């Protein structure tokens, strides 16, 4: 899968992406990351990518033409079939696991990272098929949101995470909070690892982990359970969790 980021801070994207899972995915050639700096598509001496907002007001707005030339080059550089252009902004669709799961099917994802007060609306209308958002808050640029998307999608691509890596979520885990994790030593600060995890009883361990995920979701994010059909076994596990909580 290919990611192209339109950004005036190309090093920020490349340097950040080269760590961990995303860095490995790029080295393996499973992920290709290219960055396109609108400043390289300006013709004035100062490489101007922004200008004052019509209607007045504070700050600057990113100009249409440098963005357009950058994105045209990003498109020309890949003969991809399934391409999507996304603008990262607080006005966008919330970035969720479902959105990341859907994006795995794309050949190329072009991510437009704005700076200043934003970008010329006509560019969003003409070039950006979708807008995506990390959440209801403002940050100083779209680059961090772009990195979240790149990380979240990359780890779902086949071959990126080894079989032994924890993020291989089982199907029933989707839409639930994660279970607790423990590692050596067995006792620290007087706190023991739950016995079931030391038992070697894999079915029991799997059952306990699912129960913990169900229970923690019920406690911390009951809203996630509203649109999740629980199997009868899962319902029983959750009920047992609630009873044990009372005792």
Ligand X SMILES: NC(=O)c1ccc(NC2CCCC2)nc1
| Minimum distance, C-beta of residue 128 to ligand X, in the bound complex (Å) | 12
Q: Is 151 annotated as a binding residue?
A: no
The residues of the shown chain that bind ligand X, judged by CB under 6 A, are 88-90, 114-116, 118, 133-135, 137-142, 145
Which CB sits closer to ligand X, 105 or 138? 138
Closest contact distance (angstroms) between CB of 37 and ligand X is 16
Q: Binding residue per annotation — 139? A: yes
Beta strand pairing call for 108-112 and 2-6: parallel
Tell me how far apart the alpha carbons of residues 147 and 13 are, in angstroms, rounded to a whole number: 7
- The two most distant CA atoms of the chain are separated, in Å, by 73
The reply to whether 72 sits in an annotated binding site is no
Q: Which is nearer to ligand X, 7 or 212 (CB)?
A: 7
CB of 148 to ligand X, least distance (A): 8
Where in the sequence numbering do the catalytic residues fall? 90, 117, 155, 170
Residue of minimal Cβ distance to ligand X: 114
Tokens read off for 195: 């016995």
Q: What are phi and psi of 17, to 5 degrees?
A: -70, -15
194 torsion bin: left (phi>0), alpha (psi -120 to 50), beta (else): beta
Instruction: Please tell me whether 134 is known to bind a ligand.
Output: yes
Residue 8 CB, nearest approach to ligand X (Å): 11
Q: How many residues does the chain have?
A: 247
71 is in an annotated binding site: no
d(CA 28, CA 147): 18
Cα–Cα distance, 22 to 157 (Å, whole number):
11
Q: How far apart are CA 63 and CA 48, in angstroms?
A: 8
Binding residues for S-adenosyl-L-methionine: 114, 134-139
């Amino acid at each position: 899968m290919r990611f192209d980021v339109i950004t005036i801070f190309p090093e920020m994207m490349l340097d950040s992406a080269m760590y961990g899972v995303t860095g490995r995915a790029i080295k393996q050639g499973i992920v290709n990351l290219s960055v396109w700096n609108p400043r390289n598509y300006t013709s004035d001496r100062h490489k101007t990518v922004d200008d004052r907002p019509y209607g007045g007001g504070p700050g600057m707005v990113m100009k249409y033409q440098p963005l357009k030339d950058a994105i045209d080059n990003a498109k020309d550089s890949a003969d991809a079939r399934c391409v999507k252009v996304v603008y990262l902004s607080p006005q966008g669709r919330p970035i969720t696991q479902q959105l990341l799961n859907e994006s795995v099917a794309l050949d190329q994802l072009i991510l437009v990272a704005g700076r200043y007060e934003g970008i010329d609306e006509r560019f969003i209308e003409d070039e950006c098929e979708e807008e995506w958002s990390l959440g209801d808050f403002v940050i100083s640029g779209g680059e961090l949101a772009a990195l979240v998307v790149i990380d979240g999608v990359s780890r779902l691509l086949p071959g990126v995470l080894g079989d032994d890596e924890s993020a291989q979520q089982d199907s029933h885990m989707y839409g639930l909070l994660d279970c607790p994790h423990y590692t050596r030593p067995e006792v620290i600060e007087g706190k023991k690892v739950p016995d079931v995890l030391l038992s070697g009883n894999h079915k029991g361990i799997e059952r306990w982990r699912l129960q913990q995920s169900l229970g923690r979701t019920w406690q911390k994010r009951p809203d996630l359970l509203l649109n999740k059909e629980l199997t009868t076994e899962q319902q029983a596990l959750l009920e047992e969790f609630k009873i044990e909580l009372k005792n």
